[in-house]
Amino acid sequence: MQEPLAETAPTTRPDHDKDRRAPADALVVRFWGVRGSLPSPGADTAVVGGNTACVEVTGGGSRVILDAGSGLRALGDELVARGEHERTTLLLSHVHWDHVMGLPFFAPLYMSGSAIQLVSGAVPGMSLHDVLAAQMVKPLFPVPFEVVSSRVRTVELPERARVAFGALTVTTAVLNHPDPVIAYRIDYAGRSVVYATDTEHVEGRVDARLVELCRGADLLIYDAQYTPEEYRGEVGPSKRGWGHSTYEAGVDVARAASVKTLALFHHDPRRSDAQVSEIVQRSRAIFPSTVAAREAVSLRFEAASYRCDLAPR
């Protein structure tokens, strides 16, 4: 297949043959689902990928999974195949459908002996447990959450939290979305990634909470669902108030916080591979170290440098 995306950032180099497992001194980010709103399989989206939000972060023998979108199914299958499914921690940005729809299809959920920790910010009006149970109720889904919930622990974090999950230190901040959502910063061995999806910028200023969270991070994964023209209503209806952002606003945050690399994420379900590539090029014109988040791509951050591993899984 022709590669339509000039994916590798200037500071990365492709490495097709090396073992993709993380050495103990590296922070590794691997994308399993990068799409927003709704899965979008098809020939036009095959390169970027059609699964909704799911990102695996590992370091020092610890792992956290960011969001449980449809990309979680394949990750669950791989964890089982590797024999690494006994303890998993999922950090949910929020509980909109595209961020939790993969959970009922996460194989470790149905395996005795596997313990699953589900973490989120506050969920107004309901507990996290009850929200997740609500999508697994007959006749919507054949297996009720109660069948598996004995192996599941839910945790709702306060607004600004700092928690260690094994070797990984996780810090949170509240973002701007129609329902409550939080961003996660994960630090390990002097490296850091911030996951900030489903957030809408305020035109003319950067989000001070997000800038503080991102300060000096190696990677910012940012909601770039709309082009600036779409956002402002110059193409179709205005997207103001819909809870999502643009690559331009991502660049503003990245610059203000001295972030090294920006990964555009939560691609619109209608966005073709060619259109994602075009948006990346536009972003690189103002922030050269931009990449598109896409399935099967890993970013590895080691002590002195990092590389982008483009090997398919």
User: Residue 89 and residue 249: Cα distance in Å, rounded?
Assistant: 30
Q: Does 223 bind Zn ion (CB under 5 A)?
A: no
Task: Find out whether 172 and 157 touch, Cβ atoms under 8 Å.
Answer: yes
Q: x/- binding map, residues 97-136, to Zn ion, per CB under 5 A?
A: -x--------------------------------------
Choice between 169 and 176, CB closer to Zn ion = 176
Query: Residue 117 belongs to what H/E stretch?
Result: strand 115-120
Task: Find out whether 52 and 277 touch, Cβ atoms under 8 Å.
Answer: no
User: Of the candidates 26, 35, 36, 298, which one interacts with Zn ion according to CB under 5 A?
Assistant: 36
Residue 4 vs residues 40, 46, 148: alpha-carbon distances, Å:
18, 11, 42
User: Residue 103 and residue 288: Cα distance in Å, rounded?
Assistant: 36
As given in the structure block, the two tokens for residue 251 are 């660049």
Task: State the number of binding residues for Zn ion (CB under 5 A).
Answer: 4
- CB 207 to Zn ion: min, Å: 16
Choice between 198 and 218, CB closer to Zn ion = 198
Q: What is the DSSP track for 204-233? A: TB--HHHHHHHTT-SEEEEE--B-HHHHHT
Longest CA pairwise span in the chain (Å): 53
Choice between 105 and 242, CB closer to Zn ion = 242
Choice between 187 and 198, CB closer to Zn ion = 198
Look at residues 278, 313, 285 and name the one whose alpha carbon lies nearest to residue 32. Answer: 313
- CB 96 to Zn ion: min, Å: 3
- CB 169 to Zn ion: min, Å: 25
Q: How many C-beta atoms lie closer than 10 Å to residue 27's C-beta?
A: 26
- CB 75 to Zn ion: min, Å: 17
User: Residue 65 and residue 93: Cα distance in Å, rounded?
Assistant: 11
Choice between 12 and 93, CB closer to Zn ion = 93
User: Residue 164 and residue 115: Cα distance in Å, rounded?
Assistant: 17
Q: Does 33 bind Zn ion (CB under 5 A)?
A: no
- CB 282 to Zn ion: min, Å: 22
User: Residue 294 and residue 280: Cα distance in Å, rounded?
Assistant: 12
Q: Does 198 bind Zn ion (CB under 5 A)?
A: yes
Q: Does 96 bind Zn ion (CB under 5 A)?
A: yes
- CB 83 to Zn ion: min, Å: 31
- CB 266 to Zn ion: min, Å: 6
- CB 87 to Zn ion: min, Å: 27
Q: Which of residues 288-307 bind Zn ion (CB under 5 A)?
A: none
Choice between 108 and 250, CB closer to Zn ion = 250
Choice between 68 and 219, CB closer to Zn ion = 68
Name residue, tokens 């791989």. 78
Choice between 201 and 284, CB closer to Zn ion = 201
Contacts with Zn ion by CB under 5 A lie at: 36, 96, 98, 198
